[in-house]
């Protein structure tokens, strides 16, 4: 099991309490979708944030995720198909291409694509409109600056460039700020929300030093929304 997959699986049961920003992101993606698609694909669907927010009657929703633990929490019904699969792996797309979709959603997941270029190409081959939200490198900016490390995420410019190769999309860059009571809460949030995606960039001592020097009681997030 790869690092990212392990992290989401470990925190699958606490994810719902810690996904405040992901919830807002999914809400915005769904609210801004005006074409009431009937056949929906949700890539990196997790525990079903998108499925839970869709408020129009639809024919079918396929949710794909590589964490069985997250999929176990996804709403189930005769209209919902949950598929265990990895969007880094061509096999998932070979299976998905046999179906027609009216819209492909992906909320807060594609930042973890190993080769985003390749994954976006494969999504484009499904020939459907998209509603995507991808976390970008100014997420946890203060934290990375304080620790003197660079973000594991791609910049908004790089993601926009990669998207532009395969789609003609409207994009919007949104920053979110989350306030906490204490520094300890900030670090508990980072661990439990799965936002770190299993990438332990710092050792124990470095985290302790960072907690001492962290200058604010807030965390910032940067998300690129893209849709057509």
* 22 counts as binding ligand SAM under rule CB under 6 A: yes
> In the complex, what is the shortest distance from the CB of residue 67 to ligand SAM, in angstroms, rounded to a whole number?
4
The span from the CA of 11 to the CA of 70, in Å, is: 9
* 66 counts as binding ligand SAM under rule CB under 6 A: yes
> Which of 50, 186 has the CB closer to ligand SAM?
50
> In the complex, what is the shortest distance from the CB of residue 205 to ligand SAM, in angstroms, rounded to a whole number?
28
Closest residue to bound ligand SAM by CB: 46
Q: Give CA separation, 169 vs 7, 101, 108, in Å.
A: 31, 17, 17
> Which of 81, 211 has the CB closer to ligand SAM?
81
> In the complex, what is the shortest distance from the CB of residue 215 to ligand SAM, in angstroms, rounded to a whole number?
26
Q: Which of 28, 194, 196, 223 binds ligand SAM (CB under 6 A)?
A: 194
The span from the CA of 207 to the CA of 187, in Å, is: 9
| Nearest by Cα to 225 from 18, 13, 28 | 28
User: Regarding beta strands 218-227 and 130-135, do their DSSP bridges make them parallel or antiparallel, or are they unpaired?
Assistant: antiparallel
Stretch that binds ligand SAM, among 46-54, 170-178, 207-215, 218-226 (CB under 6 A): 46-54
Q: Which residue has the tokens 């980072």?
A: 190
Q: Which of 51, 61, 70, 96 binds ligand SAM (CB under 6 A)?
A: 70
* 93 counts as binding ligand SAM under rule CB under 6 A: no
By CB under 6 A, the residues from 116 to 155 that bind ligand SAM are none
- Applying CB under 6 A, the residues found at the interface with ligand SAM are 4, 8, 19, 22, 26, 44-46, 49-50, 65-67, 70, 86-88, 107-109, 112, 194
């Amino acid at each position: 099991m790869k690092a990212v997959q392990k992290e989401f699986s470990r925190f699958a049961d606490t994810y719902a309490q810690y996904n405040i920003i992901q919830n807002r992101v999914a809400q915005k993606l769904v609210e801004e979708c005006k074409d009431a698609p009937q056949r929906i694909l949700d890539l990196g669907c997790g525990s079903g944030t998108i499925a839970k927010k869709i408020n129009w009657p639809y024919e079918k929703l396929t949710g794909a995720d590589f964490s069985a633990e997250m999929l176990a929490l996804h709403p189930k019904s005769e209209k919902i198909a949950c598929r265990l699969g990895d969007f880094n792996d061509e096999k998932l797309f070979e299976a998905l291409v046999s179906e027609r979709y009216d819209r492909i959603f992906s909320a807060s997941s594609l930042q973890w694509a190993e080769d985003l270029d390749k994954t976006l190409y494969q999504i484009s081959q499904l020939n459907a409109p998209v509603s995507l939200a991808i976390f970008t490198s100014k997420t946890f900016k203060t934290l990375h600056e304080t620790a003197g490390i660079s973000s594991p995420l791609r910049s908004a410019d790089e993601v926009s460039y990669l998207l532009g190769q395969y789609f003609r999309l409207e994009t919007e860059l949104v920053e979110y700020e989350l306030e906490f009571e204490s520094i300890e809460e900030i670090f508990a949030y980072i661990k439990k929300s799965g936002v770190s995606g299993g990438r332990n960039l710092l050792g124990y001592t470095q985290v302790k030093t960072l907690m001492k020097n962290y200058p604010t009681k807030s965390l910032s997030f940067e998300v690129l929304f893209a849709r057509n």
